[in-house]
A and B are shown apart, each in its own frame.
Chain A
């Protein structure tokens, strides 16, 4: 079975631009979460979607938004990019809201210049 897939793997954007990151969960997983990992730190929770509804939001500005599609894939959008948005963005999926662990993708490395 394919794992969590994210695209693109790397991205370079300029300050003020907009970016869309994509994630396909493991087949059968209905929950998708997004995390931001700045170099040298642990991942920080951004969003969680379950059955296409937002179930949690971390302490991030409104420039960050996300959605989940009927096939459970997800997009993370970031508007008005800042230099501080440069990070590894990780997507994770899980089977349900129960005791199943998160399975992470390889991430998208975003560089804002």
Chain B
């Protein structure tokens, strides 16, 4: 079984500053994938970034980067130069065991608020 833990119920950041959202995971599988999704108040889940367990480089997508520390089983999301539109719920998720990527285990989420 897989488990995702997001320990920050809420985070606040000033516009244009960087912010790190924490995520730790637990799995006994060697092959797994880690995802971050953004969920605005509208409800849609927006894919942000993906990291495979065998990827040697940390994933980056524009202002998003994933700080992957395999030994610590952590996959923190770093958002640089925060914008007001970044205010949303953020979910860390994983897939493991060589199963389809259609089955994700999600964490509880972190609400990010960006202040002007």
Contacts and interface: CB of A to CB of B under 8 A. Distances in A.
B102 A90 contact: no
Contacts of A103: 47
Interface in A42-69: 42-45, 48, 50, 55-56, 58
Interface string B9-44: 000000000000000000000000101010000111
A88 B43 contact: yes
A42 B107 contact: yes
B116 to A, nearest CB: 26
Contacts of A58: 103
Contact of A33 (B33, B46, B103, B108): B103
Interface string B81-115: 00000000001010000011111111111000000
Contacts of A41: 108-109
A73 interface: no
A31 B50 contact: no
A97 B44 contact: no
Contacts, number: 74
The contact size tier of chain B is: 20 to 34
Contacts of B45: 43, 90, 92, 102, 104
Nearest to B52: A99
Interface in B27-75: 33, 35, 37, 42-47, 50, 52
Contacts of B101: 94, 97-102
Interface in A70-113: 88, 90, 92, 94, 97-107, 109
A49 to B, nearest CB: 8
A25 B103 CA distance: 16
B44 A101 contact: no
A27 B109 CA distance: 29
A43 B106 contact: yes
13 contacts: A41-B108, A42-B4, A42-B107, A43-B45, A43-B106, A48-B102, A55-B100, A58-B103, A90-B45, A99-B52, A102-B101, A104-B37, A106-B43
Interface of B: 4, 33, 35, 37, 42-47, 50, 52, 91, 93, 99-109
